[in-house]
Amino acid sequence: MKTLVVDDSRLARSAVIKTLNKELGNENEIYQAENGEVALSLYKKENPDIVFLDLTMPVMDGFEALKKIRAHDEKALIVVVSADVQEHAVSQVMSDGAIMHVQKPINETKMKEIFKTVKFLLKAGSHG
Amino acid sequence: MDSNIEFNEDHKEVLRELMNVAYGSSTAVIAEILDAFATLRVPKIELFNDEELRKYLLDRVDQDKDAFLCIQGINGKVAGESIFVLNRSSVENLALYFDLDEEASEEDLKDVATELTNILSSSTVGKLAEQVNSSVSFSPPSVSIVNGLSMGDDLKMKNYSQAIVICTSIEFEKEKIHGDLILFMQDQSIVWLKAALDKIISEYL
């Protein structure tokens, strides 16, 4: 599986990758981006299967990156992993096409839930 | 500076992310109270001396007007003080959400600032402590109204000559409420925190 992990914090990216590897084993190809702008360009180049996206980032934040990635690929599977847990933020990213909003910090239980949802969506072929 | 209380870039990076998580949670609590939406910013982790702190604050407040300086003591492994700085117009705008009108007294405004500080600083610092497997308790906040220009003189880092300052802004743009949260930590707390951060660094970075 090709995964794009987007966060300005190395710690946060590392936490996602670590839990991701525990969930999937090491059979996944991981790309990292430190802001939305880099993420968008990497997405276009690598076409990952799933994106883990932070919201509060410099240069281009996750709100904008989400919209731009979804405009480029309306079937993009994007999981928002953020400390911004305001109701407005959650409802905005969900209406902009994220499949989930997960509160930081990520852990194994949350990652399992994410992949339950991802598998369901892929099986149903319903996202997009 | 004593190297025992100096943070390297890895420490700062990890602390920035822990603070981001902590501040995100507490901002959500305030957003719910105000039924509003705040723009979160990436926190700054800075080492400020007196003069640098003064300059930072002068950039952030209206120098011709009053500012509310809310201070709350933090006790535990992460001991020190949290300082929340709000300009007068922010407190007046905030007061409207607490059913106070534009004629609210100074005492009413101080009450509002105290309440916000109590919620914001205790939930932020509490969440920060939790992430490094610790816990803290708080002293009741005290609020003073100071002139923007003299704020640096009112906020002397008397006990924190070599303190690290974590600066985070809360910004409810539509409601015109802006504030800065600054944490001062005692030297022994910085030493303890550094060890806790080193554990996280060895595990993740």
pLDDT the model gives residue B100: 79
pLDDT the model gives residue B163: 56
The CA distance from B163 to the nearest CA of chain A, in Å, is 23
The structural domains of chain B, ordered by start, are 3-204 (3.40.1550.10)
A84 vs B: CB within 8 A: yes
Query: Do residues A16 and A5 touch, judged by C-beta distance below 8 A?
Result: yes
Whether the predicted pLDDT of B87 surpasses 90? no
Beta-bridged to residue B166, according to DSSP, are B45, B183
* Placement of tokens 């992949």 in the chain: A115
The CA distance from A9 to the nearest CA of chain B, in Å, is 6
A56 vs B: CB within 8 A: yes
Sign for the pseudo-dihedral over CA of B170, B136, B70, B101 = positive
Residues in chain B closer than 8 A to A14 (CB atoms): 204-205
B24 vs A: CB within 8 A: yes
Q: How far is CA A3 from CA A29, A67, A106, in A?
A: 6, 18, 16
pLDDT the model gives residue B155: 67
Q: Return the structure tokens found at A82.
A: 């953020």
pLDDT the model gives residue B174: 83
**Helix, strand, or coil (residue A13):** helix
Share of chain A above pLDDT 90, in %: 84
User: Is the bond into B140 cis (omega within 30 degrees of 0)?
Assistant: no
pLDDT the model gives residue B52: 80
The CA distance from A105 to the nearest CA of chain B, in Å, is 7
- For A51, phi then psi, to 5°, come to -125, 130
- For B144, phi then psi, to 5°, come to -130, 150
Identify each DSSP E strand in chain A by its residue range.
Answer: 2-6, 29-33, 50-53, 78-82, 100-103
Comparing C-alpha atoms, which of A86, A3, A91 is closest to residue A49? A3
What's the average model confidence in pLDDT over A36-58? 96
**Helix, strand, or coil (residue B133):** coil
CA atoms of A37 and A64, how far apart (whole Å):
9
The CA distance from B140 to the nearest CA of chain A, in Å, is 26
Whether the predicted pLDDT of A36 surpasses 90? yes
CA atoms of B9 and B2, how far apart (whole Å):
16
Q: How confident is the model at residue A126 (pLDDT cuts 50, 70, 90)?
A: low
Q: How far apart are the first and last CA of chain A?
A: 19
Region label for B82, one of left (φ > 0), alpha (ψ between -120 and 50) or beta (otherwise) = beta
CB contact under 8 Å between A8 and B42, yes or no, is yes
pLDDT the model gives residue B1: 58
| CATH of the domain spanning A2-123 | 3.40.50.2300
The nearest alpha carbon in chain B to A84 belongs to B24
In 10 A of CB B154, how many CB atoms?
13
Question: In this predicted model, which residue has the larger pLDDT, B161 or B175?
Answer: B175
CB contact under 8 Å between A86 and B27, yes or no, is yes
Question: In this predicted model, which residue has the larger pLDDT, A41 or B118?
Answer: A41
CA atoms of B136 and B116, how far apart (whole Å):
19
In chain A, domain spans: 2-123
Secondary structure letter of residue A103 according to DSSP: E
Kindly give the residue spans of alpha helices, DSSP state H, lying in chain B: 9-34, 50-60, 88-97, 106-131, 151-154, 187-204
Question: In this predicted model, which residue has the larger pLDDT, B40 or A26?
Answer: B40
Residues in chain B closer than 8 A to A87 (CB atoms): 28, 31-32
Residues in chain B closer than 8 A to A18 (CB atoms): 204
DSSP string, B33-69: HHT--PBP-PPEEEE--HHHHHHHHHHHS-TTSEEEE
A71 vs B: CB within 8 A: no
* pTM listed for this prediction: 0.86
A21 vs B: CB within 8 A: no
Top mean pLDDT of B2-11, B43-52, B139-148, B196-205 is at B196-205
Q: Among partner residues A15, A58, A104, which is closest to B204 by beta-carbon distance?
A: A15
Element (H, E) at A69: helix A62-72
